[in-house]
Structure 1
Amino acid sequence: MKLLNTTTKNNVLQSMMRILDTHREELLEANQKDLDAFTKEDQAMYDRLVVDNKKIDGMIEAVRQVASQKDPVGKVISEKHLDNGLEILNKTSPFGTIMIIYESRPDVTIEAAVLAFKANSKILLKGGKEAIHSNKVLVSFWHKALSEHNLEHDYIKLLTLNREQTQAFLKEPTEPLDLIVPRGGERLIAFVKEHAICAVLVSGRGNNFLYVDTEADWTMSLEVIKNAKTDKISACNALDKILINESIDGFEDKLQELTTLLKSQNVTILGDKSVASKFDEVEEIKDKSIWYEEFLALKCCIATVKSTEEAISKINTYSGGHSSTIMTNNKETGLSFMEQVDSAAVYQNASTRFTDGGAMGVGAELAISTDKLHHRGPLGLEQLVTNKYYVFGNGQVRV
Structure 2
Amino acid sequence: MKLLNTEIKNNVLKSMLKILGRERQHIIEANKKDLDAFQKEDQALYERLIVNDKKVDEMIEAVKAVMLQDDPVGQELTNRTLKNGLNIVNTTAPFGTILIIYESRPDVTIEASVLAFKANNKILLKGGKEALNSNLILEKCWHEALEENGLSKDWIKLLHLKREETQAFLKNPTEPIDLIVPRGGEQLIKFVKTHATCAVLVSGRGNNFLYVSEHADWSKAVNVIINAKTDKISGCNALDKVLINKNLPEYEMKLKMLQEKLEKHKVEIIVDDKVSDVLSKKETVSDNDIWYEEFLALKLLIGQVNCLDDAIELINKYSGKHSAVIITEHNDEAMNFMHNVDSAAVYHNASTRFTDGGQMGVGAELAISTDKLHHRGPLGLNQLVTNKYYVYGDGQVRV
* Gap change, CA 1:36 and 1:247, over 3 Å in 2: same
Residue 15 (structure 2) pairs with residue 21 (structure 1):
no
Which residue in 2 is equivalent to 1:234?
234
User: What do the CA deviations read for 1:58-87 (whole angstroms, capped 9, x no partner)?
Assistant: 000000110011000000111110000100
Which residue in 1 is equivalent to 2:44?
44
SS of the aligned residue for 1:297 comes to coil
Q: Using the TM superposition, give the Cα deviation of residue 264 of structure 1 relative to its aligned residue in structure 2, in angstroms.
A: 1.3
Which residue in 1 is equivalent to 2:174?
174
SS of the aligned residue for 1:199 comes to coil
Which residue in 2 is equivalent to 1:252?
252
Unaligned 5+ residue runs, structure 2? none
CA distance in 1, matches of 2:288, 2:78: 48
Which residue in 2 is equivalent to 1:384?
384
Is the CA contact (8 Å cut-off) linking 1:271 and 1:302 kept in structure 2? yes
Task: Output the amino acid matched with 1:396.
Answer: Q
CA distance in 1, matches of 2:340, 2:68: 36
SS of the aligned residue for 1:296 comes to coil
CA distance in 2, matches of 1:160, 1:280: 50
Task: Output the amino acid matched with 2:247.
Answer: S
Which residue in 1 is equivalent to 2:284?
284
SS of the aligned residue for 2:350 comes to coil
SS of the aligned residue for 2:274 comes to helix
Task: Output the amino acid matched with 2:40.
Answer: K
Which residue in 1 is equivalent to 2:199?
199
User: What do the CA deviations read for 1:238-292 (whole angstroms, capped 9, x no partner)?
Assistant: 0000000000100000000111111111111111111112223321112111100
Task: Output the amino acid matched with 1:26.
Answer: H
Q: Using the TM superposition, give the Cα deviation of residue 8 of structure 1 relative to its aligned residue in structure 2, in angstroms.
A: 0.7
User: What do the CA deviations read for 1:98-128 (whole angstroms, capped 9, x no partner)?
Assistant: 0000000000000000000000000000000
Task: Output the amino acid matched with 1:14.
Answer: K
TM-score normalised to structure 2 length: 0.99
SS of the aligned residue for 1:233 comes to coil
CA distance in 1, matches of 2:190, 2:39: 25
User: What do the CA deviations read for 1:200-256 (whole angstroms, capped 9, x no partner)?
Assistant: 000000000000011111011101000000000000000000000000100000000
Which residue in 2 is equivalent to 1:335?
335
Which residue in 2 is equivalent to 1:309?
309
SS of the aligned residue for 2:357 comes to coil
SS of the aligned residue for 2:317 comes to helix
Q: Using the TM superposition, give the Cα deviation of residue 176 of structure 1 relative to its aligned residue in structure 2, in angstroms.
A: 0.8
Task: Output the amino acid matched with 1:73.
Answer: V
Which residue in 2 is equivalent to 1:220?
220
Which residue in 1 is equivalent to 2:140?
140
Equivalent positions of 1:318-329 (< 5 A) are 318-329=318-329
Which residue in 2 is equivalent to 1:296?
296
Which residue in 1 is equivalent to 2:348?
348
Is the CA contact (8 Å cut-off) linking 1:269 and 1:281 kept in structure 2? no
Runs (4+) of structure 1 exceeding 3 A deviation are none
CA distance in 1, matches of 2:186, 2:91: 35
CA distance in 2, matches of 1:279, 1:389: 61
CA RMSD, aligned part only? 0.6
Q: Using the TM superposition, give the Cα deviation of residue 131 of structure 1 relative to its aligned residue in structure 2, in angstroms.
A: 0.2
Is the CA contact (8 Å cut-off) linking 1:204 and 1:368 kept in structure 2? yes
SS of the aligned residue for 2:240 comes to strand
Task: Output the amino acid matched with 1:207.
Answer: N
Task: Output the amino acid matched with 1:84.
Answer: N
CA distance in 2, matches of 1:281, 1:329: 31
CA distance in 1, matches of 2:379, 2:342: 18
Is the CA contact (8 Å cut-off) linking 2:255 and 2:278 kept in structure 1? no
SS of the aligned residue for 1:301 comes to strand
Which residue in 2 is equivalent to 1:67?
67
Which residue in 2 is equivalent to 1:118?
118
Q: How many residues align?
A: 399
CA distance in 2, matches of 1:135, 1:280: 47
Task: Output the amino acid matched with 1:25.
Answer: Q
TM-score normalised to structure 1 length: 0.99
Task: Output the amino acid matched with 1:368.
Answer: I
User: What do the CA deviations read for 1:152-196 (whole angstroms, capped 9, x no partner)?
Assistant: 101000001000000000000001100000000010000000000
CA distance in 2, matches of 1:310, 1:353: 24
Which residue in 1 is equivalent to 2:208?
208
CA distance in 2, matches of 1:41, 1:268: 17
Is the CA contact (8 Å cut-off) linking 1:275 and 1:282 kept in structure 2? no
Is the CA contact (8 Å cut-off) linking 1:214 and 1:245 kept in structure 2? yes
CA distance in 2, matches of 1:93, 1:38: 40
CA distance in 2, matches of 1:69, 1:24: 24
